Structure 1
Amino acid sequence: MPAEGRQRIDKWLFFSRAVKSRSLGAKLAQLGRVRINGEKTSQAADSIKPGDILTITLDRRILVYKVLAPGTRRGPAEEARLLYEDLSPEPAPRDPALPDALVPVREAGSGRPTKRQRRETDRLRDR
């Protein structure tokens, strides 16, 4: 039986809504993408307690949470926010001069031929 106030990392990640499912929380822990007080986790059964600092690497984000309480269920977002204090660093400011997505530029006539051009090529080859 786990000690009072402790909880498995995969369950806590699920209850705090950091991940969508408990199995995703287990995968994150097994891949070492969760650190408990600076130490990498190697299994989903690693336990956390109130006061621990979690560093979670998700896609292109780094979340830093201070555990305030173990979870009892996956409730609404307001309930999940009571389980942690968000210490995540602010994302780097974006340069407004850079567009969100660069539009690919291709010179006319380069790249794949259109259907019309392909038919014209086929007619030339048949002659």
Structure 2
Amino acid sequence: MAVPERQRLDKWLWHARVVRARTHAAALIESGHVRVNGAREKSPGHPLKVDDVLTVGLSHGVRILRVTGFAERRGNATAARALYDDVSDASDGRQSHT
């Protein structure tokens, strides 16, 4: 089975283990807490492609993720981690001063 070049936003969030259920992903998107390449997205079916940057507002903070791949099925945490680069820390602009 070939891995797709694009994937629905809600499905990708679920496969990447950003949320626990695909219905939670859809609710998060529809409530306006997800941006794709800086633009607020309200459609769970929005197609993602590799190198898209997602900004996801979660109850415990904001995550910024760059899409690096897709999966046909939801895997374990290691497989999920291979689907994105977490750029949250690199882009927050804060530097620690010691």
Which structure 1 residue ranges, 4+ long, deviate > 4 Å from structure 2? none
Following superposition, the deviation at residue 60 of structure 1 comes to 3.1
- Rg comparison, structure with higher value: 1
| Greater share of strand | 2
Following superposition, the deviation at residue 17 of structure 1 comes to 0.2
The answer to whether structure 1 residue 37 and structure 2 residue 37 are counterparts is yes
Report the Cα distance in structure 2 between the residues aligned to 1:38 and 1:7, rounded to whole angstroms: 18
Query: Percent of aligned pairs with the same residue?
Result: 37
Report the Cα distance in structure 1 between the residues aligned to 2:51 and 2:71, rounded to whole angstroms: 14
For 1:1-127, list aligned pairs within 5 A. Answer: 5-89=5-89
Report the Cα distance in structure 1 between the residues aligned to 2:89 and 2:32, rounded to whole angstroms: 20
Unaligned ranges ≥5, structure 2: none
Report the Cα distance in structure 2 between the residues aligned to 1:75 and 1:64, rounded to whole angstroms: 21
Between the two proteins, the alignment pairs up a number of residues equal to 89
Give the TM-score normalised by the residue count of structure 1: 0.66
Report the Cα distance in structure 2 between the residues aligned to 1:32 and 1:70, rounded to whole angstroms: 23
Residues 79-124 of structure 1: CA distance to partner in whole angstroms, max 9, x if unpaired? 00000001013798xxxxxxxxxxxxxxxxxxxxxxxxxxxxxxxx
Matched residue type, 1:80: A
Residues 4-24 of structure 1: CA distance to partner in whole angstroms, max 9, x if unpaired? 511100000000000000000
Superposed CA RMSD in Å reads 1.6
- Larger relative CO (CA 8 A, sep 6+): 1 or 2? 2
Task: Provide the secondary structure at the position in 2 that maps to 1:89.
Answer: helix
